[in-house]
Structure 1
């Protein structure tokens, strides 16, 4: 069992507080993604779990054992870095075998593990090559194979695909998900790329300002953001936000129309809707198209609603040009509401 428990972990660098009392549990064999913008604390948290940073306060438990006082080699982990960290003077075989030989493992067992993990990562034909003869994608496969060969309880990955081109990232994402599921290894994966997070994760922990803002399944994080930050960070393009004012009838006035909403005990809320959750209709927001971006099956239209920018994704067969006016109706079930003071979600 390789459940990871983070208890009240904080980290300060001088007067700067990188992490604020983080609590989280990653289940055995779960693929957890830490997602957030640069500087949010995700890599610091990963390095604390790995033993490369010491927490200012708090505890780290792996497999029921407290490890925050142990060096990295005694934590039962392997790590894959952004820059691959593949040794250029060694062959692919020697790179994968490096950690195993450091443990003075039997030669036959080393060969078995290297061969097995090379086959898993589809690099068995490269075992005799040096890393300087490999492409970026091949070097990344070697780095992952080296980690898997250790048969660790936990694999930690720090933006491992960020140096690859878009097509190769797509290919590697699919491979990683399958290989790590087969290995039955608990995985923590750090990224700022929400597409990676959504496609890989069993669960996403969205971080901001050294705190975990929401930890949930990819679908739940996307459809039901717990905070305004999550709605604005997840999604490309992100959610639309508009001010909503309570009317005398108890409804809410948004973008020039009245709609039903929460029975909140205040006069102003924030209305939110994703660009794909509005449709052209006879009644709704009066919008003027400003920028039209064809995206293949769909068209992204940046409009003006009530003098403010508003994005809508419409079918590419539906003709629209800059300057055109249209009426956009929000799907009621997809509307979300936020408290403008606390920035947290409010149930409708």
Structure 2
């Protein structure tokens, strides 16, 4: 059972605090993605779990055993990095076998594990080739196979697909998800790419400024963001936000339209671009930019002085200067507290 428990983990570099008392539990065999922009603390947290950084405070537990005082080699983990980290002067077989031989495993067991992981990563036909002769995608498969061959309790992945082109990333995402599910390994995956996060994760931990703002399954994070930041960071294009003015009895004025919302206090209106449709009555918006994207069209407008985006069917072709009325799906409207930035129910 490779349950990972992060308890009050903090990390400071001099006067700079990279992590603020992080608490997070990752279930056995779960695929957890740490998602956030550069500098949010996700790689620092991964390195602390790996034993490559020492926390300033807090504890790390893996499989019921406290490990934050142990060196990396004693934690039962394997890592896959962004830069592949394969040895170009060794064959694919030798690369995968490298860690196993360092542990002085019997040759029969080395052979079994290399063959098994090579088949899992669809590189069995490459075992005799030198890794310096491989493409970027093939080298990354070798790096993953080498990590899996160690049969670790936990595999940590730091932006492993970021050096690949878009089509290869798409192929590798699908492959990784299936391979790691089959290996029954607990996985922590760091990325700034929300598409990777949404497609791979069992749960996503959205990070900003050294804090975890929300840890939930991808649909929950997308549909019910816990904070305004999560709503703006997840989704491409991101959520639309407009100021709202209380009209009494739980009614709110937004760009001249009335919507039911929180019963009291202050609120900000939010809606995703795909949850709007043109109608006779709705939020008035002036078209500024039209971007045909094949099956749909992304239209950037201005509503109540704020940028406001809508995704339309490709058969609809507004032009800059057109005026639209955009009606939101009522059950998709979300509300945020302008002061705390937290979601309102």
User: Does 1:262 find its partner at 2:262?
Assistant: yes
1:147-296 → structure 2 map (5 Å cutoff): 147-248=147-248, 250-264=250-264, 266=265, 268-296=266-294
Q: Deviations over 1:247-297 (max 9, x none)?
A: 255411101211111102x2x311100000001111111111110001111
Structure 2, unmatched stretches of 5+, are none
2:116 partner SS? helix
1:247 partner SS? strand
1:263 partner SS? coil
**321, 324, 342: which is aligned to 1:323?**
321
Structure 1 partner of 2:122: 122
Could you tell me whether the CA contact under 8 Å between 2:298 and 2:312 is conserved in 1?
A: yes
Q: Deviations over 1:137-173 (max 9, x none)?
A: 0000000000000000000000000000000000000
Query: How far apart are residue 324 of structure 1 and its match?
Result: 1.2
Q: TM-score, structure 1 length as denominator?
A: 0.98
Structure 1 partner of 2:72: 72
Q: TM-score, structure 2 length as denominator?
A: 0.99
The worse-fitting range, judged by mean Cα deviation, of 222-231 and 268-277 is: 268-277
Q: Give aligned pairs, total.
A: 345
- Cα 1:65–1:257, aligned 2, differ >3 Å: closer, same or farther? same
Query: Matches of 1:340 and 1:307 in 2, distance apart?
Result: 17
Query: How far apart are residue 230 of structure 1 and its match?
Result: 0.1
Query: Matches of 2:250 and 2:188 in 1, distance apart?
Result: 46
Structure 1, unmatched stretches of 5+, are none
Where in structure 1 do 4 or more consecutive aligned residues deviate above 2 Å? none
Query: Matches of 1:231 and 1:326 in 2, distance apart?
Result: 24
Query: How far apart are residue 132 of structure 1 and its match?
Result: 1.1
2:207 partner SS? strand
